[in-house]
Amino acid sequence: MKHSRMRAHLAGILALLLAGGGPATFAQETHIGGLTGEASRGKQLYRRYCVGCHGPLGDGRGENAVWIDPKPRNFVTGTFKCRSTPTGALPTDEDLYMSVTRGFVNSNMPSWLPLTEQQRVDLVAYVKTFSSSFREEKPAAPVPVPSESAANQQSIQRGSELFQKMNCWACHGKEGRGDGPSAQTLVDNRGYPIPPYDFSGGTRFKCGESNQDLYRILMTGLDGTPMPSYASGLTPAQAWDLVHYLRTLQINAKHKRPTADSEQKHRSESKPVGEELEGRANRF
């Protein structure tokens, strides 16, 4: 009698522990700046804002996915385009936060800037619960971004030569119009055709806008797409030369191109939405 009572107690405690441990995924937290994101709150927001595209299971198969090109990200695989971490690694919380804040101008993924910072941090916490990788893998160290070299004519010239040498043109085309010989054949990791970025259009990059972002794009690659990481192929000095050259290809860029020193000023300028969401999200 006494024993069975105890057993019942133990079972109860166990059940409680399990209940506490079961939704460990939901208890997952995210820290960005001074804010702590909670997946349980993020879940509510996800249902309201994101589920139609990214799907209830986070597999990118929401009810709207069929209508959308490029397809919404599948969070389950843990493969993300915009990272500060090396290719193949998971993005940092901050990377995901920036993607959610910035949106992807040339896709259906909107900028979620009107949501509060807290809400965006909560969303990131929830997005991370879809992939076990975030629980299993240790976060990788971000790729360092050394200070920018002088953007002079020589640097641009060297960059132009690297553009040839590194075969960027094979995908992006001789003038960066996204029309290289392999452009038509490219597919992403889900088998969908994916056009290389067209520099002449001058639209914002998916993964940022500043020269630092561009440097990072070259050194991390866009995982899940044919755009590779050049971390092992380029020295930092070469990468900066490429950055300076690539800027000259953006002939139709409507916005002033930010350079290292104009960056601060650039952030405080008020310009139409869509071309400059980068940066201000960092303001806490």
Partner 1 sequence: MLFRLRVILLLVLVLGALFSLRQPAHAIPAFARKYSLPCSACHEAWPKLNDFGIAFRDRGYQLGNEKDSPIWQNPSYWPITMRITPQWHRESSSNQVVDTVPGNPALGQTFQNATTHGFDFGGVDIWAAGTLYKDISFSLLPSSDSSGSFHFENAFVRFDNLFRTRWVNVKFGKFELDNLVSEKRMLFLSNNGGFYQVYHYTPFREAQFRASGPSIVQFGDAFGIGDNQLGVELSGHSENSYTRYSVALLSSNEGNPGLPNRTYDGWASFNQGFQVGKLGVQRLGGFAYFGQRPTFFNTSLGSPVLGQGLGSKSFYRAGLTGLFYIKKLDFSTVFVHGWDNVFLGTGTAANASLPVGARGPSWNGGFVETHFTYSPQLVFVQRNEIVRMSRQVFSADPRDLGDVDAFSFGLRYYPFMSSRAGLALHTEYSFVRSYKSASPLPTSTSPFGPDLRASSVFVGLDFAF
Residues in the site for ligand HEC, rule: CB under 6 A? 49-50, 52-54, 64, 68, 70, 72-73, 80-82, 96, 99-100, 104, 107-109, 112, 123, 127, 166-168, 170-172, 182, 186, 194, 196-197, 205-207, 214, 217-218, 222, 225-227, 230, 242, 246
CA 268, CA 265: separation in Å to the nearest integer?
Answer: 5
**Shortest distance (Å) from residue 283 CB to ligand HEC:** 19
Would you say 166 and 216 are in contact if contact means Cβ atoms under 8 Å apart? no
**Shortest distance (Å) from residue 1 CB to ligand HEC:** 54
Residue 9 vs 47, nearer CB to ligand HEC: 47
**Shortest distance (Å) from residue 19 CB to ligand HEC:** 27
**Shortest distance (Å) from residue 191 CB to ligand HEC:** 14
Residue 260 interaction partner, one of partner 1, ligand HEC, none, beta carbon < 5-8 Å per kind: none
Two tokens, residue 120? 């965006």
Residue 62 vs 180, nearer CB to partner 1: 62
Residue 197 interaction partner, one of ligand HEC, partner 1, none, beta carbon < 5-8 Å per kind: ligand HEC
Distance, CA of 214 to chain centre: 13
Give the Cα-Cα-Cα angle 63, 65, 71 (nearest 5 degrees): 160
Residue 173 interaction partner, one of ligand HEC, partner 1, none, beta carbon < 5-8 Å per kind: none
Residue 48 interaction partner, one of partner 1, ligand HEC, none, beta carbon < 5-8 Å per kind: partner 1
Residue 129 vs 266, nearer CB to ligand HEC: 129
CA 162, CA 139: separation in Å to the nearest integer?
Answer: 31
